[in-house]
Amino acid sequence: MAGPGQTGRSGRPTLAVVGATGAVGTVMLQILSQRADIWGEIRLVASPRSAGRKLAVRGEETEVVALTEEAFDGVDVALFDVPDEVAERWAPLAAAKGAVVVDNSGTFRMDPDVPLVVPEVNPHAVRMRPRGIIANPSCTTLSMIVALGALHAEFGLRELVASSYQAVSGAGREGVATLRQQLSLVAGTELGTSPGDVRRAVGDHTGPFPEPVALNVVPWAGTAREDGWSSEELKVRDETRKILGLPVLPVAVTCVRVPVITTHSLTVHARFEGEVTVDKAREILATAPGVVLFDNPAAGEFPTPADVVGTDPTWVGRVRRALDDPTALELFVCGDNLRKGSALNTAQIAELVAAELS
């Protein structure tokens, strides 16, 4: 099956990157320059105020064009790294022009006519796209799901309890700028002796967070939902169920924001259909695509964001069987939320589509 835009280099498909000047878009251009060169034209698309800028991709300077319907003429695959409201308006228009849309926003993830895809876990789902749109999971889900999916394929997952420790870059460039500003404000300040020390030092500079993040942890990410849950916690539940094909899987999640720039971490308590062993779990994780097993606590070896930032795999450590349940495993996982957690997974989905179009 040929796409409408296969008129570029050697008949290769044409790719559009929408939101090319944003935080995730910037990482996407780096990833496209690092991975196998399967694309013909790579068209960079952004808001009209960014049109005319030149960005490097594949070692070449490419001019950014404004987001219009005409920007999708001849495009085979369109990667969307834009806010929800932009994706809601423009992704269907791009699909109507003949492009397969891979969307990184939250707009379409739970649409029953839009597959939610992680190539290491459910690559087959990419072909079932009646709306011409494929959704990318949230960065928190992606930091965990590759490792969890590998264990589920062997043991059969039946319950999940997780806590996330989310980097401020999950809140975009504003989140990063806020933490940097807060760290400068608290530097050299006498802290840790009375309630409100950090808040007084930070003042009104809380940015997108409800409490200071510098020298603190904030047990909240997202917006309020019913019964005290946050939107971020419900996303992890709903996306895990959809990706693994387990619509009634019991899931409980607590999302926490921590003073880390990039890389999300999670503690995972996973119960399976039958008894599990650590040796078998370690064997599965050590050979699973997209996973690095880094697990020797006695030698000080376990993943941390400082180890994982800038890398592509999900890193897993602290693998152990639950103390009182032979069917459950405990894990600690880390994943760069801007690479596999956003841009890389989107690029991998696009590559699956490109292989189908060839």
As annotated, the active-site residues are 139, 264
Instruction: Find out whether 21 is annotated in a ligand binding site.
Output: yes
d(CA 233, CA 35): 32
Angle at 211 between CA 206 and CA 213, to 5 degrees: 75
For the chain, report the end-to-end CA distance as a whole number of angstroms: 7
d(CA 162, CA 96): 39
Instruction: Catalogue the long-range contacts made by 188-191 (C-beta closer than 8 Å, 24 or more residues apart).
Output: 191/215
Burial 6-15 (b: 16+ CB within 10 A, else e): bebeeebbbb
DSSP letters of 196-223?
Answer: THHHHHHTT--TTSSS--TTS-BS--S-
d(CA 306, CA 218): 20
Instruction: Find out whether 50 is annotated in a ligand binding site.
Output: yes
Instruction: Find out whether 23 is annotated in a ligand binding site.
Output: yes
Residues with Cβ within 8 Å of 229's Cβ and at least 6 positions away in sequence, in order, are none
Instruction: Find out whether 33 is annotated in a ligand binding site.
Output: no
Contact in structure between 51 and 62 (CB atoms under 8 Å): no
Q: Name the residue with tokens 């996306």.
A: 239
Instruction: Find out whether 98 is annotated in a ligand binding site.
Output: no
Instruction: Find out whether 169 is annotated in a ligand binding site.
Output: yes
Instruction: Find out whether 43 is annotated in a ligand binding site.
Output: no
Instruction: Find out whether 109 is annotated in a ligand binding site.
Output: yes
As annotated, the binding site for NADP(+) includes 21-24, 49-50, 169-170, 337
Residues that constitute the known binding site for phosphate: 109
- Give the residue ranges of the annotated binding site: 21-24, 49-50, 109, 166, 169-170, 257, 337
Bind-site residues for substrate: 166, 257
